[in-house]
Structure 1
C-alpha cells in the first residue's frame, strides 16, 4: 500500500511566527496547519494515529460509537446493489489500481483512510451523453459488521445527468466517493441516507470539477444513528462551478454531521453552499462545518456559504461553524452566514389567525423551511418521495 506525501503537515517548525523555546525547558514546537489545504493526507490507514476524539476533525463527533470503523479491521467485500439504470449511465466494478482512483482527492482522516486501505473493488458510475438522465444505486441489507466501500462517479466532457446514491437498512459503513466532472459537464449527485435507526455511516466525498463544468452536490440525511458525510470540492480549472446543498432532520438521539470544504484553485470559479436542518427530540444533534478557501490563483471568485438550523424542541444541539480563507484580493465576492433558532412566532401567529391549528401551522413552517433544498434536486419523483419522508419525520413516524 502506498501513501501520498503531503505538501505540508503540522510538524515541528522552529522559529515560525517568532516562536522559540521557553527558558523553563523544552516544549511542543508543533505549529498548527496554517491553511485548510495543508492538512495531512494519505491513503494508508497506518499513517494516521488511532482516533481518540481529541483531534480537530473528530472533536464534535461521538467517536466511541464507531470505533470499529476508525480503529478496527473492516471488510472491503463487494456489496449487493440495486441499480436504477438509464441510457447513458454505465455501472461497473474497477480494480484498485485504476488511474481514476485518487484523481479527485485522498483521505484527510483515519476513517476515510481505513476505507481506502480496505476496499477490494471500486464501483464506477460513468455518465455520458448530453441528454438529461437520472440513474442511481441503492445499498441495502449491509448488515451490522463494519464495512468499507469506494465509488467513482465520472461525468464525461459535456455530459449531463443526475446520479442518486441511496442507503437503507442496517449498516456500519465507512466509504469514499470520488466525483470527476469533465470539461463542460453538468452533473448532479444526490447522497441520500435513509438508514435504519441504528445505522452508522461515515463518508468522505471528493470532487474535482473541470473547466466550465458544474456540479450540484446534495446531501440528504434522514435515517441512521450516526451519519457523517463530508464533501470536499476542488474547483480545479477556470469557470468551474459547485452548488453544494444539504438537508437533514435530526431526531432524538441522532447525530447528523457534515464538514464541507470548497477549494477555489482556479480563476473565475463559483461556489454556493446552502445546508438547512431541523432538530427535534432529546439528544438530537447536528454538526455543520463549512470551509471555503480562495487560493491566490483564484481571481474573480464568487463564493457564498450558509447554514440554517431550525430547533423544534428542547434538548437539541446544533453546532454551526463557517470558515472563510482568502489569499487574493481580486475576487467578485465572498461571504458566509450561520443561524440557529426556533420557530418564527409571527409566522405561526399569521397561520393560526387564519384558522390553521397550531400543529398544522408548525408543520407548514418546517416544510417551507426545508423545501428550498428539496426543490433544487431537479427530479420530480425523488422530490415527491423526500417530501413524504419529511412529513413522516414531522409526524414522528420515522
Structure 2
C-alpha cells in the first residue's frame, strides 16, 4: 500500500494525519511549500507531467473559464476573497497544482444552501473554457438538515486547475455531480474535498468523458458519527486520453459508512485510465462499514487500465471493510447472444456497455444529464465500430 501518499491526502482534507508521517507533504496554500513533481513520487507515478507543465509552474492565467450559475430561490452565490473563512475550511492543498489553483484564482465562488432548505431543482454551475491557462476555487456550503443537488458541468477547452470543497452540515443530504465533458485538447487537474457532519448523507458522482488529460482527486472525511457517503464514477477513455481518479475516504468517526463504485471503458491506442482508491479507518472509527470497487472494460487493443485499491484498518471493531478491482475484455459471448436474437452488432455492443455502466448512470439523479452522458457513450461506441 502507498501509505505515504495516503497520509499526505489525509492531510489534504484539513485534518491532521492519524499516524505521524515525517515524510508526508506539507499542507499549505503556498505553492513554494510543495516540491514540483518529477513523476517518481507515488502520487504522480502514473501521471504524464508534460501536459501539466504550465499548471505545475503556476503560469499566470492567460485564458478564462466562464462560470454561469443557475440556482433555486434561497441559494446564495457570492464571489469572495481567499481570506473568507469558508475558503479552506474543507480543503488545504497538499500539492503544487492545488496550491496554485487557490492563489491564482483571484478569489473563490461560494454557493450557500441555507439550513433546512429543500431544493426541488439542482444548483447548476456551467464552466466553459475558452483556451489558455486558468484557475478556479469553488466552495459549497450546505446547512444542517438541508437537501440539495449540485451539478458542475465542464466544457470547452482550457489548461485548468480547479479546487472544489463541499461542506455538508449535520443531517443534510447532498447529491453532487461533476461532469468533465471537455474538448479533446483540454487539461484538467482538480482537487475535490467533501466533509460530512453528523448523520449527513453524500451521493457524489464524477463522470469523465473528454479532455487530453483529466486528473481528479476526490477526498471524504467525517466530522461526526452516522455519516454516509457514496462515491460513484464513470469514465470513457478514448485513444490518446489519460483519465485519472485518485480517491481517499478517511474514517475517523464512529458508525460511518462509505461505498465507492467506479466503472470505466477504454478504447483506442494509448487510451490510459488510472483509478486509485484509498480507505483509511482510524483507531477510534469503530462500527465503520466500507467497501470500494473498480471495474474496467477494455474494448480494443492498445488501451491500458491501472487500478489500485488500498485499505488500512487501525481498529478491529468494524462492521465491514473490503475492496475489489477487475479489468477485462469486452464480453464477446454476450455480444453473440444478442446478435443471435436478431439484434444488429452495433446495437448489441451499445446494450452491453450500457448494462455495464447502468449502475452508475442510475445514480446521476438528474434525468437530462443522464440522457446526455448516455448519448456521449453511444457516440463513442459508434466511432469505434462494432
TM-score, scaled relative to structure 1: 0.88
1:39, distance to aligned residue in structure 2 (A): 5.0
- Between structure 1 and structure 2, the one with the greater Rg is 1
Of 121, 133, 136, the match for 1:133: 121
Match of 2:365 in 1: 378
Q: Does 1:85 align with 2:56?
A: no
SS in 1 for 2:343: coil
Contact 1:6–1:40 (Cα < 8 Å) also in 2: no
SS in 2 for 1:52: coil
How many angstroms apart in 2 are the aligned matches of 1:77 and 1:359? Answer: 40
The equivalences for 1:319-338 within 5 A come to 319-338=306-325
List per-residue Cα deviations over 1:358-382 (Å, max 9, x = no partner). Answer: 2221221011111211111112122
Match of 2:96 in 1: 110
How many angstroms apart in 2 are the aligned matches of 1:72 and 1:112? Answer: 10
How many angstroms apart in 1 are the aligned matches of 2:268 and 2:15? Answer: 44
Q: What is the Cα-based RMSD across aligned positions, in Å? A: 2.0
SS in 1 for 2:41: coil
If asked which structure has higher relative contact order (CA below 8 Å, sep 6+), I would say: 2
Contact 2:65–2:134 (Cα < 8 Å) also in 1: no
Stretch moving more, 76-85 or 259-268: 76-85
The equivalences for 1:243-262 within 5 A come to 243-262=230-249
* Paired residues, number: 369
Match of 1:119 in 2: 105
Is the alpha carbon distance of 1:358 and 1:195 closer, same or farther for their aligned partners in structure 2, counting shifts above 3 Å? same
How many angstroms apart in 2 are the aligned matches of 1:265 and 1:10? Answer: 17
Of 261, 266, 271, the match for 2:253: 266
Is the alpha carbon distance of 1:307 and 1:132 closer, same or farther for their aligned partners in structure 2, counting shifts above 3 Å? same
How many angstroms apart in 1 are the aligned matches of 2:262 and 2:92? Answer: 24
SS in 1 for 2:87: coil
1:130, distance to aligned residue in structure 2 (A): 2.5
How many angstroms apart in 1 are the aligned matches of 2:363 and 2:219? Answer: 20
Is the alpha carbon distance of 1:251 and 1:151 closer, same or farther for their aligned partners in structure 2, counting shifts above 3 Å? same
SS in 1 for 2:42: coil
Match of 2:6 in 1: none
Stretch moving more, 204-213 or 371-380: 371-380
Of 289, 294, 297, the match for 1:310: 297
1:250, distance to aligned residue in structure 2 (A): 0.5
How many angstroms apart in 2 are the aligned matches of 1:125 and 1:170? Answer: 24
Contact 1:57–1:109 (Cα < 8 Å) also in 2: no
Contact 1:76–1:115 (Cα < 8 Å) also in 2: no
Is the alpha carbon distance of 1:389 and 1:364 closer, same or farther for their aligned partners in structure 2, counting shifts above 3 Å? same
Match of 1:27 in 2: none
How many angstroms apart in 1 are the aligned matches of 2:185 and 2:63? Answer: 21
How many angstroms apart in 2 are the aligned matches of 1:144 and 1:77? Answer: 5
How many angstroms apart in 1 are the aligned matches of 2:48 and 2:257? Answer: 34
Is the alpha carbon distance of 1:370 and 1:103 closer, same or farther for their aligned partners in structure 2, counting shifts above 3 Å? same
How many angstroms apart in 1 are the aligned matches of 2:375 and 2:70? Answer: 20
Stretch moving more, 215-224 or 48-57: 48-57
Is the alpha carbon distance of 1:62 and 1:322 closer, same or farther for their aligned partners in structure 2, counting shifts above 3 Å? same
- Deviating beyond 6 angstroms after TM superposition, the runs of 4 or more aligned structure 1 residues are 3-6
Stretch moving more, 237-246 or 38-47: 38-47
Match of 1:301 in 2: 288
How many angstroms apart in 1 are the aligned matches of 2:130 and 2:38? Answer: 25
SS in 1 for 2:153: strand
How many angstroms apart in 1 are the aligned matches of 2:39 and 2:314? Answer: 31
1:71, distance to aligned residue in structure 2 (A): 1.8
Contact 1:77–1:119 (Cα < 8 Å) also in 2: no
Instruction: List runs of 5+ in structure 1 lacking aligned partners.
Output: 12-32
List per-residue Cα deviations over 1:70-125 (Å, max 9, x = no partner). Answer: 12323399853222222243222111111111111211211111212222110111
SS in 2 for 1:220: strand
1:145, distance to aligned residue in structure 2 (A): 2.1
Contact 1:76–1:120 (Cα < 8 Å) also in 2: no
Of 173, 196, 209, the match for 1:209: 196
Contact 2:58–2:97 (Cα < 8 Å) also in 1: no
Match of 2:219 in 1: 232
Match of 1:98 in 2: 84
Instruction: List runs of 5+ in structure 2 lacking aligned partners.
Output: 1-11
The equivalences for 1:1-398 within 5 A come to 11=22, 39-75=25-61, 79-128=65-114, 129-140=117-128, 142-396=129-383
